[in-house]
Amino acid sequence: MPHHDFDLLVIGGGSGGVRAARMAAQRGARVALAEHGRMGGTCVNVGCIPKKLYSYAAGFAEDFADAAGFGWRIAQPPVLDWAALKANRAQEIARLNGIYEGLMTGAQVRVLRGHARLAGGHTVEVAGEDGATHRHTARAILIATGGRPFVPPVPGHELAVTSDDMFDLPVFPRRLVVVGGGYIGCEMASIFHGLGAEVTLIYRGEQVLRGFDDEVRAFTAEEMRKAGVQLRLRSDVARIDALPGGTRRVTLQDGATLDADVVLYATGRQPNVAGLGLDALDVRQQASGAIEVDEHFATSAPGVYALGDVVGRMELTPVALAEAMALVDHLLGPAPGRPARRMDYAHIPTAVFTHPPIGTVGLTEQAAREKFGAIRVYRGDFKPLKHTLSGRAERTLVKLIVDDASDRVVGLHMVGADAGEVVQGFAVALKCGATKAQFDATLGIHPTSAEEFVTLREVTRR
């Protein structure tokens, strides 16, 4: 067998890459990881973590307003210190960057600083920070470079920003236009509205949050409107122009115009494959640029693997982590006393941190009808107990979708406070194949919103 510098060389220091490198090294493999940016990837630096921190920040504005109904008198109107929020976020992200660095050091993974590219069979070139290019060989190479925001080439697109920029804007935008109705666009619209911006969201489709349950989409859109976010559906941008003083003028295809301090494009993400040298080994890609892989994450090039957002399956941090562990078991065998892990994409829960947030696991109503034919739908919406005193008009939606033949709950959806926390627990039940009868036999915790899932008795529709 040819000698290689490493058993595994990982390109990309995000969630999936770091997990694969650490797990492989702990099994005794010689591992290197190449990264030219901050450790932790999108999730830590410009994704999940800062997004959730800013969502908390936006939530305080709601709490201040709600407090009056509970007898609290706030003497002076609260004021957002944007610079303090940014500084505190940056400090926390730097701490997490250090933890990721420490994970690599602790596992004895060699970190190669620089931009890596495939340079031949089992070979990677790293353009290092010292200005030199270094070649390394490995028995297996893993591409885990994630994704990046996509901005369509509309006239003036260079005047817009992406989600990567939103957490560190020099000045807080009093007027924000968000282009895109996916989960990132809706989250950013909700968060910055909560922080005090006047927000307009533009989406060319019929309804926001394509891919989610239709009832969840409509309910969330209405709650966003009630909160004060302006939604312009079936609309798109024709051009963006710069006005004196830094204002951006957005001209829509129907001729209407909007002025904003910041225009955010949240129109999807694309695989981060530029400069990877995929052509050198004829690594097959989909039309989107995503790297094609088989069930074991092997690409068309011998010895080259890929996982996470760069393969374009489910672009979620926990998915990348699970894929990494399945790959390590495939390459090195399972840990002693454990079965080999395989990736299962069924019943993966997710949350959208709009205000109110969404939690979902399993199938949408439409997908369940297509798969099972006969289904039962149970749903309810209500004013949460908190808002009986706060006076806020926000409502909560809970929804169960049941396969009629087996009585199994195949979809569970919630829009409301702490939806992600609630749905995470119910995801275990769906993974175990829980039936509606078992939901009915489970006692609720009163008074909570979560108890509604075990007290839904009347079929809404079949």
pLDDT, one tens digit per residue, over 138-182 is 999 999 999 999 999 999 999 999 999 999 999 999 999 999 999
> Is 157-267 in the same CATH topology as 6-47+85-148+270-332?
yes
147 bridge partner residues: 271
- How far apart CA 210 and CA 230 sit, in angstroms, is 18
The closest alpha carbon to 207, from 185, 188, 192, 228, belongs to 185
Phi/psi of residue 226, each to 5°? -60, -35
- Say how many C-beta atoms besides its own lie within 10 A of residue 133's C-beta: 13
Catalytic residue, chosen from 115, 122, 296, 446, is: 446
- In degrees, rounded to 5, the angle at the alpha carbon of residue 157 between the alpha carbons of residues 156 and 160 is 110
13 bridge partner residues: none
Average pLDDT across the chain, whole number: 97
Is residue 36 part of the annotated active site? The answer reads no
Lowest mean pLDDT among 219-223, 294-298, 337-341, 398-402: 337-341
- How far apart CA 430 and CA 362 sit, in angstroms, is 8
Superfamily grouping for domain 157-267: FAD/NAD(P)-binding domain (3.50.50.60)
15: part of which helix (H) or strand (E)? Answer: helix 15-26
Superfamily grouping for domain 350-454: FAD/NAD-linked reductase, C-terminal dimerisation domain (3.30.390.30)
So where are the chain's domains?
6-47+85-148+270-332, 157-267, 350-454
**Model's pTM, two decimal places?**
0.96
Cα torsion through 76, 226, 427, 441, rounded to 10: 100
Dihedral sign computed on CA atoms, order 405, 409, 411, 413? positive
pLDDT, one tens digit per residue, over 378-405 is 999 999 999 999 999 999 999 999 999 9
Encoded tokens for 460: 């809404």
CATH topology of domain 6-47+85-148+270-332: FAD/NAD(P)-binding domain (3.50.50)
- How far apart CA 4 and CA 30 sit, in angstroms, is 10
- How far apart CA 167 and CA 106 sit, in angstroms, is 30
pLDDT, one tens digit per residue, over 222-261 is 999 999 999 999 999 999 999 999 999 999 999 999 999 9
